[in-house]
């Protein structure tokens, strides 16, 4: 009898899933969907190396908009600039899906800015952007903090190279600098580069950002599967990493509560706590949990990802020495070797800006956008999209569109220079997204990306290590991507 009831229960569940996965009327074309796994088996059969490559293959087969189920979640995959532009311009896609993975981090709630919706998102984003600007977020007044970190990083690299040249492992070489810059804005403090707590925190962050694994995505669909041993390991690594970051943030908030002066704002945490004190309404969206969520977003999205973008830039200088020579020549002629670059120098460095833009194009850190969700039933590219459909934009497909770029696989910075050698700002390099959900940290991320890269190139020449194979251009996949581990032969430039 028990066996019969179990089998009957399974049959009912599979029937329910089959009905649930039925393709809605006038929904975009896509692969077959099956109970429990959705289009998972089909996606696996594409044998792609990364999520962006998988989505790109869907675009080749089904067109710019693919409709499918990721497990039991109804979803769209968007490829190409025109479809992406239409989605970014449609306010009905300005929401975020409330995934289990996100809610689990905050004990069943959604906190912060990146993943919240509605009035909560609007009010918190408006307050955060305005007050980060007041602190100096992305402004020239921030350059002192950036230069302080650059100086220590370059001094340490110079010590490791000493005289002549030396082999240096390059991955993550700039993560401490980017982390300290963001942590200084949030918390008003910086870590020593040797601080063990800092290194533990960065390892936790790496685990969270590598959590784009298929197993974790399965748990987003079926939360109870996190108790299955071979699935729970990866999910636990992600959850423990997020808990470590939140613990550090909450410790900083509690410290501020005992040391702050309500008439003075030393940093973003002080500014937020002062706002909380001034909010008397019971319906206020300002809270300790919300503050922790915003700090988590800023820290998680800005530190390791920007450092990885710099890693890619350094890697490409190693792989393309003739371009590196042009970068050195321009920096030497405009800035010299002894003065740190400022953002006001960037317009005078058009070739460097073209190089860095080409690297953003060919190696975007988030090649698939943070998921969007449809707020209501809406029309998109001629199709009917039901409310609560998850939407992913394949940014890499925009950057690698052969019909527009001609030779997208080729690393060619000159594509962003006019006939007079002036930099041409590209519309189709959208590494930071677009629309209402554009990355709010873009200005600071670009500042760190430009200034750290230029400072590194002022001081060093990087070459392939003799006897080692040429480093790969392939990426390590995840929510964000990084270069595969590589070494470089560094030589001090005199």
Cα 451 to Cα 455: distance, rounded to the nearest angstrom = 6
Within 13 Å, how many C-alpha atoms sit on residue 262's CB side? 5
pLDDT 10s digits, 28-66: 999 999 988 899 899 999 999 999 999 999 999 999 999
Helix 442-459, helix 143-161: angle, nearest 10: 30
- Give the pLDDT band of residue 68 (cuts 50, 70, 90): very high
Angle, vertex CA 43, rays to CA 42 and CA 44, nearest 5:
90
Residue 17 confidence (pLDDT) above 60: no
Residue 79: beta bridge partners? Answer: 394
Give the number of other CB atoms < 10 A from CB of residue 341.
26
Residue 211 confidence (pLDDT) above 80: no
Residue 207: beta bridge partners? Answer: none
C-alpha 414: how far from chain center: 26
Cα 286 to Cα 273: distance, rounded to the nearest angstrom = 9
Within 13 Å, how many C-alpha atoms sit on residue 318's CB side? 29
Cα 130 to Cα 99: distance, rounded to the nearest angstrom = 28
3-class DSSP assignment, residue 378: strand
Global confidence as pTM: 0.91
Query: What is the separation, in whole angstroms, between the first and last Cα of the chain?
Result: 84
Residue 1 confidence (pLDDT) above 70: no
User: Number of helices and strands (H, E) in the chain?
Assistant: 18, 11
- Residue closest to 303 by CA, chosen among 196, 209, 397: 209
Residue 379 confidence (pLDDT) above 80: yes
pLDDT recorded at residue 215: 58
Residue 6 confidence (pLDDT) above 60: no
- Give the pLDDT band of residue 363 (cuts 50, 70, 90): very high
Cα 437 to Cα 322: distance, rounded to the nearest angstrom = 38
User: When comparing pLDDT for 46 and 143, which is higher?
Assistant: 46
Q: Enumerate domains of the chain plus CATH numbers.
A: 98-320+456-492 (1.10.630.10)
Give the number of other CB atoms < 10 A from CB of residue 107.
8
Percent of the chain past pLDDT 70, that is, above it, reads 92
pLDDT recorded at residue 443: 87
């Amino acid at each position: 009898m028990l066996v019969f009831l179990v089998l009957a229960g399974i049959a009912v569940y599979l029937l329910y899933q089959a009905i649930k996965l039925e393709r809605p009327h006038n929904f975009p074309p896509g692969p077959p969907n099956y109970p429990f796994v959705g289009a998972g088996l089909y996606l696996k059969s594409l044998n792609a190396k990364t999520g962006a490559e998988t989505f790109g293959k869907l675009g080749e087969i089904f067109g710019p908009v693919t409709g499918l189920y990721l497990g039991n979640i109804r979803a769209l995959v968007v490829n190409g600039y025109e479809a992406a532009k239409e989605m970014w311009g449609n306010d009905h896609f300005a929401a975020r899906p409330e995934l289990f993975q996100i809610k689990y981090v905050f004990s069943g709630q959604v906190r912060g800015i990146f993943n919240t919706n509605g009035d909560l998102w609007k009010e918190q984003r408006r307050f955060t952007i305005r007050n980060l600007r007041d602190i100096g977020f992305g402004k020239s007044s921030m350059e002192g903090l950036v230069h302080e970190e650059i100086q220590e990083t370059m001094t340490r690299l110079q010590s490791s190279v000493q005289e002549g040249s030396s082999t240096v492992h390059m991955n993550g070489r700039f993560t401490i600098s980017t982390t300290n810059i963001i942590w200084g804005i949030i918390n008003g403090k910086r870590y020593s580069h040797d601080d063990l707590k800092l290194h533990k925190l960065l390892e936790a962050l790496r685990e969270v950002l590598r959590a784009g694994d298929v197993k974790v995505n399965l748990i987003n669909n079926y939360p109870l599967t996190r108790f299955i041993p071979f699935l729970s390991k990866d999910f636990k690594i992600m959850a423990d990493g997020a808990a470590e970051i939140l613990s550090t943030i909450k410790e900083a908030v509690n410290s501020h509560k005992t040391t702050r002066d309500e008439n003075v704002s030393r940093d973003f945490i002080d500014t937020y706590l002062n706002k909380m004190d001034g909010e008397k309404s019971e319906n206020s969206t300002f809270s300790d949990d919300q503050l922790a969520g915003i700090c988590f977003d800023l820290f998680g999205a800005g530190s390791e990802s920007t450092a990885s973008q710099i890693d890619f830039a350094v890697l490409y200088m190693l792989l393309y020495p003739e371009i590196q020579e042009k970068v050195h020549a321009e920096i030497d002629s405009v800035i010299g070797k002894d003065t740190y670059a400022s953002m006001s120098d960037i317009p005078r460095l058009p070739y460097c800006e073209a190089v860095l833009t080409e690297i953003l194009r060919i190696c975007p850190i988030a090649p698939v956008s943070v998921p969007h969700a449809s707020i209501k039933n809406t029309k998109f590219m001629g199709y009917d999209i039901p409310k609560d459909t998850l939407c992913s934009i394949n940014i890499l497909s925009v950057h690698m569109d052969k019909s527009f770029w001609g030779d997208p696989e080729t690393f060619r910075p000159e594509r962003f220079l006019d006939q007079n050698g002036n930099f041409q700002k590209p519309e189709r390099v959208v590494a930071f997204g677009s629309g209402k959900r554009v990355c709010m940290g873009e200005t600071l991320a670009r500042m760190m990306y430009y200034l750290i890269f230029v400072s590194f190139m002022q001081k060093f020449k990087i070459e392939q290590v003799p006897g080692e194979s040429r480093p790969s251009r392939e990426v390590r996949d995840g929510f964000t991507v990084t270069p595969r581990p590589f070494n470089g032969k560094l030589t001090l430039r005199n």
